[in-house]
């Protein structure tokens, strides 16, 4: 099913004007590196999720322009219009304007970038960001809890830089961090369990072997009382450093391959098969949790995959709308048969 029917851009990145008709289930955008292919995916993501996956609005606006405009027409004939006037951004749907994309108008998206293939060996912050974005799509309560946690964390960190404070001044922020932190820990564990239920089987279907893989949560599993106690115990150290040294903002997600840490034990090909498996599961869970088949955005990923993995990518996403960018001609790709 086609969710996105048409994309119109004005003064967006390198484009003065651009129009894309998505008349088929799969749209392929071919061009040289630096030609603006990723910007089209960025615009679709912005319309469906309410924010860019690449940059801030002033960077998105074409150089020397004083506004940008994105209009995405959906299958139900709704138009999502995003305007940025150099100062603020607005969303318009059915003549209703707002400064943010309303929660009810957000639509699930699976974004696959070349950098995702290096997720296993990337930094903990990169993995946290990746899984937080995924879980926020799955669960609006997760997004709300994470937003409130981050606000409380910022207040706590600002206070820690004040030499006049004492441990009692942090109490209310400690309570908020503990409350929302434990909610996030529980949600992260729940969704990792959902992924792990089918990660090995999905991986084996790609790799054609009997290896096993899973995701492990690296963080303190605790209730609110224990979380709060740790924050209070760390007061002197946190005040010395000027930031909060414990919490869900420092936790990590570890890829495990045959009961060992994948980073260092799995080959490059094995890691890529793991990430492919994760992406396929991501699409299925998003559909189950939200009730909508996600739009799949594949950004120049075929250049990073061999023919066998290209084939698996296309076969596993064939039931979803795909918008694909590539530097190769369609005839050179396994996707040519579905275009």
In this predicted structure, the answer to whether residue 65 has a pLDDT above a threshold of 60 is yes
CB atoms within 10 A of CB 104: 7
* Residue 293 pLDDT level (bands cut at 50, 70, 90): very high
Mean pLDDT, range 303-331, rounded to an integer: 89
Give residues with Cβ within 8 angstroms of 37, minimum separation 6.
29, 30, 31, 299, 300, 325, 326
The residue among 213, 217, 149 whose CA lies nearest residue 182 is: 149
| Nearest partner of 257 among 243, 244, 272, 247, judged by Cα | 272
pLDDT per residue over 105-125, tens digit each? Answer: 999 999 999 999 999 999 999
Ordered structural domains, the chain, with CATH = 1-107+293-339 (3.40.50.300), 118-291 (1.20.1050.90)
Q: Which two tokens stand for residue 186?
A: 């529980």
- For residues 47 and 42, give the distance between their C-alpha atoms in angstroms, rounded to a whole number: 9
The 3 state secondary structure assigned to the chain is CCCEEEEEEEEECCEEEEEEECCCCEEEEECCCCCCHHHHHHHHHHHHHCCCCCCCHHHHECCCCCCEEEEEEECCCCEEEEEECCCCEEEEECCEEECCCCHHHCCCEEEECHHHHHCCCCCHHHHHHHHHHHHHHHCHHHHHHHHHHHHHHHHHHHHHCCCCCCHHHHHHHHHHHHHHHHHHHHHHHHHHHHHHHHHHHHHHHHHCCCCCEEEEEECCCCCHHHHHHHHHHCHHHHHHHCCCCCCHHHCEEEEEECCEEHHHHCCHHHHHHHHHHHHHHHHHHHHHHHCCCCEEEEECCHHHCCHHHHHHHHHHHCCCCEEEEECCCHHHCHHHHHC
For residue 11, is it left (φ>0), alpha (ψ between -120 and 50) or beta?
left
pLDDT of residue 23: 82
Average pLDDT over residues 252-276: 97
Plot region of 52 (φ>0 → left; ψ -120 to 50 → alpha; else → beta): beta
Distance CA 199, CA 328 (A): 30
From CA 22, how far away is CA 28, in angstroms rounded? 9
Is the pLDDT assigned to residue 210 strictly greater than 80?
yes
Distance CA 205, CA 122 (A): 25
CA distance 276 to 268: 12
pLDDT confidence of residue 329: 60
Instruction: Report whether pLDDT(334) > 70.
Output: no
* 80, pLDDT greater than 60: yes
Residue 328 has pLDDT above 80, yes or no: no
pLDDT for position 24: 84
Q: In whole numbers, what is the pLDDT of the chain averaged over residues?
A: 95
Percentage of the chain exceeding pLDDT 90: 92
């Amino acid at each position: 099913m086609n969710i996105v029917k048409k994309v119109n851009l004005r003064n967006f990145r390198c484009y003065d004007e651009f129009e894309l008709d998505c008349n088929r289930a799969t749209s392929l955008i071919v061009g040289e590196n630096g030609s603006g292919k990723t910007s089209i995916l960025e615009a679709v993501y912005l319309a469906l999720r309410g924010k860019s996956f690449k940059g801030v609005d002033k960077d998105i606006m074409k150089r020397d322009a004083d506004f940008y405009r994105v209009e995405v027409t959906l299958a139900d004939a709704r138009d999502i219009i995003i305007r940025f006037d150099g100062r603020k951004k607005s969303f318009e749907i059915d003549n209703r304007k707002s400064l943010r994309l309303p929660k009810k108008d957000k639509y699930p998206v699976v974004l696959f970038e070349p950098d995702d293939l290096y997720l296993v060996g990337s930094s903990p912050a990169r993995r946290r960001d990746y899984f937080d974005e995924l879980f926020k799509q799955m669960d609006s309560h997760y997004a709300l809890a994470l937003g409130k946690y981050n606000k409380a964390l910022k207040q706590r960190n600002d206070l820690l830089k004040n030499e006049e404070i004492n441990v009692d001044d942090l109490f209310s922020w400690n309570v908020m961090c503990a409350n929302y932190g434990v909610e996030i820990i529980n949600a992260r564990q729940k969704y990792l369990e959902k992924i792990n239920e089918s990660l090995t089987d999905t991986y084996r279907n790609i790799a054609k072997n009997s290896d096993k893989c899973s995701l492990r949560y690296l963080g303190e599993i605790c209730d609110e009382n224990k979380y709060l106690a740790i924050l209070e115990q760390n007061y002197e150290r946190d005040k010395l450093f000027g930031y909060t040294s414990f919490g869900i903002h420092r936790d990590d997600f570890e890829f495990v391959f045959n009961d060992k840490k994948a980073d260092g034990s799995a080959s490059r090909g094995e890691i890529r098969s793991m990430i492919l498996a994760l992406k396929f599961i991501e699409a299925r869970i998003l559909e189950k949790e939200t009730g909508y088949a996600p739009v799949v955005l594949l950004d120049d990923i075929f250049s990073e995959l061999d023919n066998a993995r290209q084939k698996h990518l296309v076969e596993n996403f064939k039931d979803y709308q795909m918008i694909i960018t590539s530097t190769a001609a369609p005839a050179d790709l396994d996707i040519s048969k579905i275009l």
